[in-house]
Amino acid sequence: MRSIRSSSRARTSNERGFALIAAIGLAILYIALIELLLIDSSRELAEARRFRAKVIAATLAENGAELAAAAMLSRPSANVNATDFQGSITGNLRMTPDGKFEITGSGSTTGVVQTTSRVTLNGKVEGDRVKIEFAVHNP
């Protein structure tokens, strides 16, 4: 039978496993590419979490300073503490008899990345006007 003889294995060349080796090689390269993308995306996620925590901590510190400053014209000192789902807030107001003040606010985040921030405002009160002379933000 001629059709059986023409498909004999004896006539194949020495390239029998080339397609299989090429497919396995491409699969390994594809898996390596996916692994690199996963490593890069996990690094980016960690970086985004750190940035978010820094922004939230700074906002919480400013909120603590604002809450302490709300009592500025009615009393010479105030302490504020608050906590919510994003973190904790602390505010402190100290005034001297000559009208100078220092307001300190601090914020700490909760979650995967925990960060603290601090804000200090120095200034003076002249009548019903409040002047902030300088502010210091510490991450």
Tell me what pLDDT residue 76 has: 81
Tell me the domain boundaries of the chain: 17-138
Three-class secondary structure of residue 115 per DSSP: coil
Residue 92 and residue 89: Cα distance in Å, rounded?
10
- At 12, the pLDDT band (50, 70, 90 cuts) reads low
Mean pLDDT of 1-7: 54
The CATH fold assigned to 17-138 is Pantoate--beta-alanine Ligase; Chain: A,domain 2 (3.30.1300)
